[in-house]
Amino acid sequence: MRNSFGQYRDGYLAYLAAYVGDWSAELAQVQAPVDIWHGDKDTWAPLAMAEALQELLPATCSLHVVPEGEHYSTLKAARLE
């Protein structure tokens, strides 16, 4: 945290800007199959976001909805599959 908000603040802010930027143009370039894992109890990102992403990806895309899955617990469920 000290580095992110101190000495390397500019780099951290650039990273955040790229992370939240508009990636929609790049989605059309995806050619590999994609698996999306999303918990139905995720409070960080709505399920509708994962559904919209699935619709926008031109490659084969599977959406796995984890019942009772939250943002991080869904990672564990995906790892166990």
What pLDDT shows up at residue 30? 94
Domain residue ranges of the chain, discontinuous segments joined by +: 23-80
CA 24 to chain centre: 13
Q: Are 59 and 32 in contact (CB under 8 A)?
A: yes
Distance CA 38, CA 21 (A): 21
Predicted confidence (pLDDT) per residue in 24-55, tens digit: 889 989 999 999 999 999 999 999 999 999 99
Nearest to 27 by CA among 63, 52, 64: 52
**pTM assigned to the model:** 0.73
Q: Which of 26, 30, 72, 70 is nearest to 47 (CA)?
A: 70
